[in-house]
Chains A and B, each alone.
Chain A
Amino acid sequence: MKWDWSAVADFMPHFWDGLLVTLQILVLGSLISFVLGLVWALLMRVPTRWVTWPVGAVTEFVRNTPLLVQLFFLFYVLPEWGITFSALTTGVFAIGLHYSTYTMQVYRAGIEAVPAGQWEAATALNLPLRRTWTAVILPQAVRRVVPALGNYVISMLKDTPMLMAITVLEMLGEARLFAQQNFQFTEPLTVIGFAFIVISYLASLALRALERRLVH
């Protein structure tokens, strides 16, 4: 096995470009999944099956089918319907949508973990429904679920390379491009493999620290 440090040096500028795009996808995708997941979780609590049934079915479908095929679907089908986004926008939306079906379950667990007494107190104080949610239930529920949401951010990080399939040049896309231009596969692929391990390890350390702060 030959290892060529000069190839690593040549790859590094591309690596930083790719890292930037990966982090961009990660931040925007997380934001979409946090917001959309909360929307799904709240819709699932609407007391009519005309809402809960379709929302449940759609999210179940999205959760149980591959993100890669969903990416292809959005990337190739939306333009046929006359909607064109850049590959990056499509990818960010797809990954955010996919993960929102996971975060929705996290929020649900968090909402169900709020003690019944909190609901009863809100009723006793005659709080309107809106205030009950925004001032009583959600602040307690969201606090509980932050660590679990963080786990999904780390999962999402490891799914960002899929956006390469729809021409986004994130870390893996940059590595493949570099490899094909220079016929050197070992170095760029190993570098980004390590980068993923390092980033997800650092993220899990940060998450553990955050969790400790939230508990106290």
Chain B
Amino acid sequence: MTSGLWELVLQGVWVTIQLLVLSALLATAVSFVVGVARTHRLWIVRFLAGLYTEVFRGTSALVMIFWVFFVLPPAFGWQLVPLWAGTLALGLTYGAYGSEIVRGALAAVDPAQREGGIALSFTPWQRMRLILLPQAVPEMVPPFSNLLIELLKGTALVSIMGMGDLAFSGNLVRLALQESAEIYTYILLIYFVIAFLLTRLMRGLERKLKAGIGRAPTRKPDLELKRPETTNVGGAI
């Protein structure tokens, strides 16, 4: 492989990382808003949040990307830059998975903590901000770490829409060299390295957050199932 082709691959890495960071930020925001909304006291808020989760988890990420690229522009009369369209589709889809993590972690906080907040006459928002979230967030890190790896794998989907990410640069190099084994091996290795670094990063984050509330990090994080659960059935083993 020539240096020009490597440059192409590096550009692909950069686009993938940009897309990963942006859609991870959007997905985090969506997860927290929707996840917290699912514990709201008004049934209509809970219902709408649940509907959002079901719809976006129910459909395929790739179909969602097609939809954002092809259906949104004529429907609303504006066209998104590919990077933002990809961010929107991935962030909304993976945010729906993340909202289940947030809801689960909030539900797992000892009920006595919530009752303590009520007894101290905290407002619902103060209870959430000062009591529930600080204890629930460290528990969310391992499942969010798995979801982040899924999101990294999901970013490859935008290459189908012609966005120049890592997977797309692999296709370009394949066309240039008329040979695929070498380049696809490199591409897979690069994805694997990024995934490995992300796992390390999240493990460090977990250690830091758990130390903040005086707990030890989970001893064996990889004993959990790595894939975010698709439905809320059969999650517990």
**A interface residues, Cβ below 8 angstroms from B:** 1-2, 61, 63-70, 72-73, 76-77, 80-81, 102, 105-106, 109-110, 113, 144-148, 150-152, 154-155, 157-162, 164-165, 172, 175-176, 179, 185-186, 189-190, 192-193, 196-198, 200-201, 203-204, 207-208, 211
Given A151-B229, A152-B227, the answer on whether A64 and B196 have CB atoms closer than 8 Å is yes
**Residues of B near any A CB (own CB < 8 A):** 54-55, 57-64, 66-67, 70-71, 74-76, 149, 152-157, 159-160, 167, 170-171, 174, 179-181, 184-185, 187-188, 191-192, 195-196, 223, 225-227, 229-231, 233-235, 237
Given contact pairs A150-B233, A158-B59, A193-B59, enumerate 5 new A-B contacts (beta carbons under 8 Å): A77-B181, A102-B227, A147-B234, A161-B63, A200-B58
Number of A-B contacts (CB under 8 A): 165
10 closest cross-chain pairs (CB), A and B: A147-B234, A197-B58, A66-B156, A204-B231, A76-B180, A185-B70, A64-B195, A158-B60, A66-B153, A1-B75
Tell me if A196 and B188 are in contact (CB < 8 A).
Answer: no
Known: A72-B170, A172-B63, A204-B231. A77 touches B237 (CB 8 A): no
Residues of B within 8 A of A192 (CB): 63
- Complex alpha-carbon distance, A164 and B128, angstroms: 44
Interchain nearest-CB distance for B164 vs A (Å): 15
Whether the Cβ atoms of B191 and A197 lie closer than 8 Å is: no
**Contact: B237 with A145, CB < 8 Å?**
yes
Are the C-beta atoms of B156 and A64 separated by less than 8 Å?
no
Q: Do A105 and B225 touch across chains, with their CB atoms under 8 A apart?
A: yes
Determine the distance from Cα of A150 to Cα of B232 in the docked complex, in whole angstroms: 11
Contacts of A176 in B (CB 8 A): 66
Instruction: Indicate if the CB atoms of B63 and A193 lie closer than 8 Å.
Output: yes
Chain B residue numbers with a CB within 8 Å of A155 are: 227, 230
Inter-chain CA distance A214–B152, complex, in Å, is 35
- A73: B residues at CB distance < 8 A: 180, 184-185, 188
Which residues on the A side are within 8 Å of B155 (C-beta)?
Answer: 66
B225 lies within 8 A of A61 (CB): no
